[in-house]
Structure 1
Amino acid sequence: MKYLNDRCIVSADNVFYYDSEKEITLSDVMRFILENEQLAREYAKMRRYYKADHDAIVRALPKPNNKPDNRLVLNYPKKLVDTFTGFSVGKPVQIMLPEDLGNKSLSQFNVSRKMDSVIARVWKESCIYGRAYFYVYSHDSEIYVTDALPLDTFVIYDNTVAHKPLYAVRYGHIGNSTNYKITVFSERYQWESDTSRNTSNFGVRQANPFGMIPIIEAVENDERLSVIKNVLPLIDEIDKAMSEKANDVDYFADAYMKVLGAILSEDDLENLRNYRIINLKSRESDDPNETPESLDVDFLSKPNADTTQENLINRVIDNLYQVSMITNLNDKDFGNSTGVALEMKYKPMLNLATLKSRGFIESLKDMYQVVFASDLIENISREAWKDLDINFQYDLPHDTLSEAQTAQILANLVSSETWLKTLSIVNDPRQEQERIEQEKNEQMKANMQVLKQTNAVTDGDPNANSRTSQEKD
């Protein structure tokens, strides 16, 4: 625990807390901003690693004496993050309301605001930085949701056991100066400040139209530990080992030739380079009585450590996936695994995604609470966020035949919405249920039309034109 003063606290997990009985001041906000600027250096490092700019290998000291100095960057951070993100939110998250009208309005909002992409970005960013944010805002009487990065955004919680969000802060530098433009949100107000004005006041205050903080934190885990940070030493070791292996290849390509027992002139060296034929004598003299020296022509070589290097690289890569708990989809044994074996290979990543999704669902509900509080979405009340049904569709290998058989068995035991959830090909069970009912109604109308055209009995009354009725008459 770190105390910036008697009101401002920073936890061991870099979470900001403030005395809930005090009103925050601009100077206290600046203390938190300067602290977040220190954390932003680590966030920027994680972003560089994700973008294949690995500090340990790219910024290493150059090799002396013009030795081979390859700098290979194997972008495992991006592979880990993208694999985990694709597995968890590659398929759209199912977000539903129990009421048909409300669920239709929610679905239209999610499509028009591209919420699938927003959710995927926030998930990916939390993998990279350990935390990310949903930012709800209004524009032209419409409600929108976007993502915000921890490099310039943070939430301040109260110092009680509830850890309720008190304030949210977004800031940015004004040009190249050291001054900041700051926006602070509370449940009741939002302030716009500019530190270049040299004032201790917040500046312009406006009412918060949502009545709650519109910035919601989504975390990777309770410790805000990113996927990359967890395996950083292993990533650096892979880059180093592969670079040294490339240096060895360059060394053998530029190996020196040794010629012992003969003195070569410039013409001799030129002929060796041009014709690539070695035909030398040990002495310049042709005197047969003179004892010749032994002639030795060879390349200088150093010991080969290829096997040791390969074993090291394989072990480090294997531990990289084990420690990160991300499944290696490029494993050579992956394609030959049975269904049960595949499930066990996915189990660590599934456990990791399940744990993260619990907190992520809470963040999604908090985000929709702000969205619904705007009263800009038809047929959805302010309290509808409590009834949200949110389900993640993890991208596991599926046996569609087994799923169909299971769904067929469940069809007579549970509701149609429940058994539709067992089918991986169904993205939105509620909408699929509506489509099924619509198709049934359309088919029934078509059948009724056919019956009427064939003069069949459609309402239970005798048809005067039927043969049976005529015989009775």
Structure 2
Amino acid sequence: MALEVDIPGLDPDFLDRAGITYNDEFTYPADVEITAADLLNLIDYHSSHLRPKYAKERDYYRGKHDIFKEPGKPKYKPDNRVIFNFPRKAVTTFNGYFIGNPVKIDHANQTVDDFIAEWINVNDFEDVSAEISKESSMYGHAYFLVYQSKDGKAKIAPMSPLNAFLIYDDTEAHDVRYGVIYHRNYQKELEVTLYDSNYRRDLVMRSSSANYFDQDRVIANPYKMVPIIEVAENTERMGLFEDITTLIDQLDKAVSQKANDIDYFADAMLLIKNASIDSDKIADMKDNRLLNIKGQSAGDSDARYLDRPDADTSQENLINRLSNGIYEISNVTNLNDESFSGNPSGVSLRLKYQAMQNMARDKSLKFRSALRKVFQCVFAVSYADVPTDAWRELQFKFTQDVPTNLLEDGQAVNYLYGKISNKTLFKQLPFIEDPDAEMEQIKQEQREMQDATAEVVKKALSQAQTDQQKAGVADDNGPARTTVD
């Protein structure tokens, strides 16, 4: 249940104390409370400078590239607009690799571990995490929003940076001071939700507002921290395709021009020189695909299509070079590469995935830090037999699927068997997630096999003893033997 409180509104003064870093993070002095004027100044900057950038990245992901905004050509010229939607392919490929296998979250305390498993299941945590990872790759960063349900339980939702941002302090710690969510309501009024470690303020900027904002409601923050948690793609907060947009534009242009050339040749004009053709026969010529020129000037006559120089080779070279450059700079593995055909070695596969694996490793560090803060919020209001500081001991495991050559792995295992411990040996096999559990399973199977073998032997011995006893009884009941001297 939300606890409303009554506190003074924000100071209206314009202190001009807000700052912005090289990677578009907002800062504010750690010892100064933000004012309404400074808050509005940051919202204006975000709305006019950062939001358009994010909107363009969203458009490119959805296939709305700049080529569709270019002026149209005259009607008599082909005007194809063909795009190569690499932004979506890059984001989908990388995040399928990065978080296609859900993050495994464990705690040494079984009670805590059981609570986590139930909470993850109830809140569709894996789906939310995948969505945030996708948006982080699109925009360079995204957010987890932790909020309270009607029954007082912690819930989560993904949030893009299109209408939300964080404000950090200006110290070396770089701690989060405020979280801001803003939008325009149906009356075109600016509505703002401002979080700090103690409160959530609902602010509205109306025409009648005396101090920039009316403070409509204030709710106590049960988490004691800002419940908007950032997941950055990298330190620079750059999206996957931010630095290759110009290459994508050029590829769109090259492919579109090639399509135009094909249409141009299909609609090429026919030049007939030194010959006269009746207009009523032109249709017959088209239907019969026949042109017959006769008469005294037939020898000087000429009929041919007008075409421009063939640039097919140079266009193909440009398209291939742009495509290769896009994959190379984005560090996303090209799964359609010819080198993936056949049965490549395990070493070549790892080399192909090396760049993408490096990106995934860096992102997993930032994702792990964000998840720890998410559970810090969750445990603060769990109201279960879970310590509020249990988030400190959480273990996160990210597993990326790199194609392997199982034949080579099997040969390596056979070679190393007996030379290193089984635990170390099992760690080398990508399909074994938990070496300890695998060793225990092997021991269990061996015990079951020994028990089964012992049971078979026992039954065999029992049957043999029974047979011997029956044979003995038969001898005792048989005819008496007579001894002849």
Both structures adopt the same fold (TM-score exceeding 0.5):
yes
1:325-340 to 2 correspondence within 5 Å?
A: 325-336=331-342, 337-340=344-347
What is aligned with 1:276? 289
Decide whether the 8 Å contact of 1:94 with 1:428 is kept in 2: no
What is aligned with 2:82? 72
AA at the equivalent of 1:112: V
What is aligned with 1:146? 157
What is aligned with 1:122? 132
Decide whether the 8 Å contact of 2:165 with 2:180 is kept in 1: yes
The match for 1:41 among 37, 47, 52 is 52
Q: Distance in 2 between matches of 1:419 and 1:124?
A: 35
1:345 aligns with 2:358: no
What is aligned with 1:233? 246
What is aligned with 1:463? none
Please state how far the C-alpha of 1:187 moved relative to its aligned partner: 0.5
Structure 2: tracts of 5 or more residues without a match: 1-13, 462-468, 470-485
What is aligned with 1:167? 178
What is aligned with 1:25? 35
What is aligned with 1:322? 328
Higher-Rg member (1/2): 2
Q: Distance in 1 between matches of 2:419 and 2:106?
A: 21
Please identify, of 335-344 and 243-252, the stretch whose mean Cα deviation from structure 2 is larger: 335-344
- Secondary structure of 2:339's aligned partner: coil
1:313 aligns with 2:337: no
Structure 1: tracts of 5 or more residues without a match: 284-290, 457-466, 468-473
AA at the equivalent of 1:90: G
1:203-214 to 2 correspondence within 5 Å?
A: 203-214=216-227
1:375 aligns with 2:388: no
AA at the equivalent of 2:78: P
- Secondary structure of 1:181's aligned partner: strand
What is aligned with 2:398? 392
Q: Distance in 2 between matches of 1:142 and 1:433?
A: 37
- Alignment length (residue pairs): 439
TM-score, with normalisation over the residues of structure 1? 0.84
- Secondary structure of 2:338's aligned partner: coil
Q: Tell me the alpha carbon deviations over residues 427-467 of structure 1, each in whole angstroms, 9 at most, x when there is no partner.
A: 6889x689959978x969x98xx89x99x9xxxxxxxxxx9
CA, structure 1 residues 25+389, in 2 after alignment: closer, same or farther (shift >3 Å)?
A: same
What is aligned with 1:111? 121
TM-score, with normalisation over the residues of structure 2? 0.82
Q: Tell me the alpha carbon deviations over residues 113-137 of structure 1, each in whole angstroms, 9 at most, x when there is no partner.
A: 1211111111110100011001111
RMSD: 3.2
1:158 aligns with 2:164: no
What is aligned with 2:6? none
Q: Distance in 2 between matches of 1:259 and 1:388?
A: 82
Decide whether the 8 Å contact of 2:153 with 2:382 is kept in 1: no
1:223 aligns with 2:236: yes
Q: Distance in 2 between matches of 1:42 and 1:243?
A: 25
The match for 1:50 among 57, 61, 67 is 61
CA, structure 1 residues 272+75, in 2 after alignment: closer, same or farther (shift >3 Å)?
A: same
Decide whether the 8 Å contact of 1:410 with 1:419 is kept in 2: no
AA at the equivalent of 2:57: M
- Secondary structure of 1:259's aligned partner: strand
AA at the equivalent of 1:49: Y
AA at the equivalent of 2:19: I
Q: Distance in 2 between matches of 1:83 and 1:230?
A: 18
What is aligned with 1:286? none
What is aligned with 1:85? 95
What is aligned with 1:304? 310
